[in-house]
Amino acid sequence: MTGDKPREECGILAVWSPQPTDVAGLLHLGLFALQHRGQEAAGMCVSDGHQVVVEKDLGLVSQVFDEARLDQLRLPDARLGIGHTRYSTTGSNLRFNAQPLTVRSSKGILAIAHNGNFVNAKEIRQSLLEGGAVFQTTNDTEVMINLIARYSRLSLVEATAQAMRELEGGFSVVLMDRHTVLALRDSHGVRPLVIGRRPEGGWVFASEPPALTLMGAELVRDVHPGELVWVESGQLHSLQVLEPHPTPCAFEWIYFARADSVLEGIGTHESRVRMGEVLAREAPIQADVVVPVPDSGIGAAIGFSRASGLPFDYGLYKNPYAGRTFIQPTQALRDLKVKLKLAATPAVKGKRVVLVDDSIVRGTTSGRIVQLLRDAGATEVHVRISAPPIKYPCYYGIDTAARKELIASTHSLEEIRRFIGADTLAFLSEAGVRAAIGGPVCLACFNGQYPAGYPHEEPQKEALEQAG
């Protein structure tokens, strides 16, 4: 993880059409709506009922899928496919770890795309290796597809259900063979997955609703925690494999999901506004202007402004052309990276500023932003964070860094305030998060209580690379 934000792991997509259609074109559009969930690799798998074609590589969706690559996927009679945008939480950012993963099995060719982490992946992988299984990647997605393939006497649906019973953690998965698309979530529904319906009777599954919209589908509902759904002969079938214990990831509403997403019936933007309102009541301050850290702090800053009566203004300009910056060989260049992406506006000059953001991970970027505002003439900078302090790593698919790198796990509130150079600092309470979202959520990265299981201390990424 770099910078001062947690990083999301993946976006997943699937489509099934009752008649031949441009599956690759639909998936391509949908992946753009999920680009924010993973920027390291992108991939698609498409089938016409006979052929199965896969294209994937490192890079953004626009970099991986040029017209030549899309043409390779445009089977004339294509009816179904799955897609993936990836950020590596388990398995390094290598081309062979890009998804969808495909295998040849007793069930024919299977393809899988996965969002989240299996916390018992290392143990299952070792057991499979001892039984003669062969692994081609270092990511935990391959563990699931090996489990499914092992149940050769079961149907694909039955084998997938059995694999769900054996795996632990927070995960959403889409899976396909030549004819069928399946989608599933863990029993806690930690990672999101929604169902959409296209006008001609097709079905779409995606990590977030905006992808459905781009693919011409209307949101039907979320896949339920512990549910396995599949499309067969145009009909959507459902099997409640695991007893549901809903605790979806709070960070979907705090930060990860797009502002126009609605997950579990709860709008992300509206939740962020409510977080800001609660934060203003929990940690009021005398100031002149409320400024968001763009783009993730905008919703909470609007709420803070409304509840406090302080004016909202854009005191920071985000350069839309900065892109991702990789070449940072010296500390001086790393420090300049913030200035490349953000610049203070005249709105802060001579003002007491309330700076609203959604999280602090290491504190380094927050400190640079505070200094930007001071350099631009802000007389005071009061930092307000619309989430509790992140004290524990996430084992369900978010890269929140090792615990020793999380500033809130090793520093007091006052020490963090001094480190980032703020006049005052306050975080939203856990109760405030729950009230703003309005439903049950996983708060493990704040309180260390892991509802969907807890792995060995060894980081999963390194553990899987060492296994086998």
Q: Tell me: is residue 357 an annotated ligand-binding position.
A: yes
Q: How far apart are CA 171 and CA 156, in angstroms?
A: 19
Q: Tell me: is residue 186 an annotated ligand-binding position.
A: no
Q: How far apart are CA 377 and CA 15, in angstroms?
A: 52
Six token digits for residue 321:
């052309």
Q: How far apart are CA 284 and CA 146, in angstroms?
A: 53
Q: How far apart are CA 105 and CA 13, in angstroms?
A: 22
Q: How far apart are CA 382 and CA 354, in angstroms?
A: 5
DSSP designation for 59: S
Q: Tell me: is residue 48 an annotated ligand-binding position.
A: no
What is the identity of the amino acid at 118?
A: F
3-class SS of residue 353: strand
User: Has 10 been annotated as catalytic?
Assistant: yes
Asked whether 279 and 303 are in contact (CB, 8 A), the reply is yes
Angle, alpha carbons 263-10-90 (nearest 5°): 130
Residues 298-330: b if buried by 16+ CB within 10 A, e if exposed: bbbbbbbbebbebebbebbeeeeeeeeeeeeee
Q: How far apart are CA 2 and CA 46, in angstroms?
A: 34
At residue 116, what are phi and psi to the nearest 5 degrees? 125, -160
Q: Tell me: is residue 17 an annotated ligand-binding position.
A: no
Nearest Cα neighbor of 297 from 354, 348, 338 is 354
Q: Tell me: is residue 296 an annotated ligand-binding position.
A: yes
For residue 188, the Cα-to-chain-centroid distance in whole angstroms is: 16
Task: Find residue 420's DSSP bridge partners.
Answer: none
3-class SS of residue 339: helix
Q: What is the dihedral of CA 267, 273, 275, 277, to 10 degrees?
A: -140
Q: Tell me: is residue 45 an annotated ligand-binding position.
A: no
**Per the residue annotation, which of 4, 6, 7, 10 is the catalytic one?**
10
Binding-site residues, please?
A: 249, 296, 357-358, 394, 442, 445
Active site residues: 10
Binding-site residues for [4Fe-4S] cluster, please?
A: 249, 394, 442, 445
Binding-site residues for Mg(2+), please?
A: 296, 357-358
